[in-house]
Each structure stands twice: as C-alpha cells, then as structure tokens.
Amino acid sequence: MTKFDFTGKVALVTGSGRGIGLATSRKLLESGAHVMLNEVNPKRLESAMASLGQLSKDAETHIGNVTKQDEVEEMFKDLTNRLGHIDILVNNAADRPVAKVVDMTEEVWDRNIDSILKGAFLCSQAASRRMIARGLGGKIVNVSSGSYKVARVGASAYCSAKAGLVMFTACLAQELGPHKINVNSVAPGLIEVGDESTPEKLFYDKATIQATPWGRIGTPEDIANAILMLCSPEAEFITGTVLSVDGGLSAGRYGIPVSP
C-alpha cells in the first residue's frame, strides 16, 4: 500500500469528529503530519481524540462553527499559535437535514448551504491568505458528494450546496494556481459514517449498493485515501478537478436489465 510522507506538514480538517473527517485526520497523523481537528460538538471531538490513541500526541483540537467568520478567524489564529502555519486544509464539515422543497423551512436550507458552502469559503479564504503570505504553496481539498450531479428527492438543499462546492473548487483553483496552491474536490458515493440505522436508511443503502458496480458501501478510509493522494507531492499537477470515489456509482445506470 502506498505510504505518503507528510512529515513537517500542518493540516486542518473540519468536521473531523467522526466519519470521513476523522479517518482523514488519522491517516494524515499516521503519515507524519500535525493535525488540528475541528468540530462544533465537544463530546464528539473528545471521543475522536480518544480513538486516535498514541497518534493524538501530534493532534490539536478546536471547537468552532465554520459558518461564523469570527469563529473561523479564531480557529486559524489558534492553529497558527499552536502549530505555526498551515499546509493542508480539508473542508469536510457539513450539516444535511433533508426536506422536500414544498415543506422546507428557511432554517433547513441555510443549514445545508452555510455548513457546506459558506464554511468552505470562510476556511479556504483564511487558509489561502496564510499560504500565500508564506509563499510555499499548499493543498486544499473540498469534500463534495456524488449528489453534486445526481439529484434526489428531499435533498435539494444538500445537492445544491455540493454542486456549488464543486464550482467553488474550480474557481478557487484558478485563483490560487499562480501561488502553487492545489485546490481539488472529492465526491464520495454512499459512505458508512455511523448514522443511525432506520428502515428507511437500510432501504436506501440496499438500493444504492445494487446500483454500485463495486457492490458495497464505501468506508471513510476510502475517501481519506483519495484525499491524501490529492495532498501529496505526486498530485502536484492536479488542480481544479473533482474525483469521484464511489465504486462506480456515478459511471452510469448500473443494475438495470440489459437492453434488448
């Protein structure tokens, strides 16, 4: 298995109390990086640090809401004070309440858009300013979703936010390219992140697996592996792209009968 070396690198991973964010933080730590984990939920962050075991000695934590500019600035000041600089930003934080458009409240819409899109904007702005000032380049990876290009009922706000995140990635890559800051996005398929199991979720999972050529649900580690690749020196010429990590789910209409 490929082993990346991030010795001396400093990373910030938002929404890293569990799932993709935690898996990414763990793999960065295993590869020698110093990592700041960010969450809005103190108990989740405490549990995440406990799960890292000995790796936690190279990890810092910051409780903060990425949708609030003052809290984002405070987080980056804290990161600089503790770790000195930033080389890698992974925008993973997301809140995704579901509702059909005719029933949706403004609060539900805002929670999706703000946590996913506004949060990535605020954190990317703060990180890129520091990367530019340091003059040594950097890496930004935005965690989007296959939902950026595949609509589904009840997820209009989430799909819109993730689609916006992909376009934000492309625009930012153009702006930061001259500064040798790579900006990319990963688009996970169905990933098991420990959500509560319900009959509706089980039905959804089964249907999605049937449409996935690889025949399984993805793991947070599957996405973390892709993120590390995009943050590595080997990805130096990759920027402005979106990488689907979904077992072939987005490749086409798999699982339907062969056409006559």
Distance, in Å, from the CA atom of 94 to the CA atom of 190, rounded to the nearest integer, reads 15
pLDDT band at residue 197 using 50, 70 and 90 as cut-offs: confident
Three-state DSSP class for residue 85: coil
Minimum mean pLDDT range among 40-54, 69-83, 185-199, 226-240:
185-199
Taking all residues of the chain, what is their mean pLDDT, rounded to a whole number?
95
Candidate list 148, 158, 204, 254, residue with the active-site label: 158
Predicted confidence at residue 200, as pLDDT, reads: 85
The neighbour count for residue 9, using CB atoms within 10 Å, is 21
Predicted confidence at residue 193, as pLDDT, reads: 84
Minimum mean pLDDT range among 89-93, 171-175, 210-214, 255-259:
255-259
Predicted confidence at residue 57, as pLDDT, reads: 97
% of the chain exceeding 90 in pLDDT: 90
- What order of strands is seen across the sheet that includes strand 34-39? 59-63, 34-39, 10-13, 88-91, 138-143, 181-188, 242-245
pLDDT band at residue 214 using 50, 70 and 90 as cut-offs: very high
How many Å separate Cα 250 from the centre of its chain?
18
Residue 248 has pLDDT above 90, yes or no: yes
Per CATH, the homologous superfamily of domain 10-247 is NAD(P)-binding Rossmann-like Domain (3.40.50.720)
Sorted by where each begins, the domain ranges of the chain are: 10-247
Predicted confidence at residue 225, as pLDDT, reads: 97
Longest dimension (CA), the chain: 65
Tokens of 186: 């990963």
Q: How confident is the model over 170-191, as pLDDT tens digits?
A: 999 999 999 999 999 999 999 9
Predicted confidence at residue 2, as pLDDT, reads: 59
Q: Is 158 a catalytic residue?
A: yes
H or E element in which residue 176 lies: helix 156-176
**What's the pTM?**
0.95
Residue 195 has pLDDT above 90, yes or no: no
